[in-house]
Amino acid sequence: MKKWYYYILGLVAGVLNGLFGSGGGVVVVPMLEKAEFEQKKAHATSIAIILFLSIISTVLYLINKNFDFTKALIYLPGGFVGAAVGAIALKKISNDLLRRIFGAIIVISAIRMLFFK
């Protein structure tokens, strides 16, 4: 049964990633925590999973000509620095603070999506 849980988790994460661009982390992290992953390992594992899902999504977007790599390039330097800072910070912050930050980002994103363009 547990094996099917992971397959379903992967399917949901893949669909969300394909639709929303790495939105699968919103589902993957809580589901990994439910599967008894320690919170920080759930976040790190989610990122690793989403890396591969993002590569697949990017290739499919390129094939369908729905992606402009030149416009994406401008975000990469800041993204690399931000990813490194986030990975270093993950080691230093408490699980409670991590949970609060994650929850706040989800709530802020939901409000923004519901009420603003």
Q: What is the pLDDT of residue 23?
A: 64
- The pTM assigned to this predicted structure is 0.69
3-state secondary structure the chain: CHHHHHHHHHHHHHHHHHHHCCCCHHHHHHHHHHCCCCHHHHHHHHHHHHHHHHHHHHHHHHHCCCCCHHHHHCCHHHHHHHHHHHHHHHHHCCHHHHHHHHHHHHHHHHHHHHHCC
Domain range list for the chain: 2-115
Q: What is the pLDDT of residue 1?
A: 67
pLDDT in tens, the chain (117 residues): 678 877 887 788 778 777 776 666 777 788 888 888 888 888 888 888 878 887 887 888 888 887 787 888 899 899 899 989 998 998 899 989 998 998 898 899 889 889 987
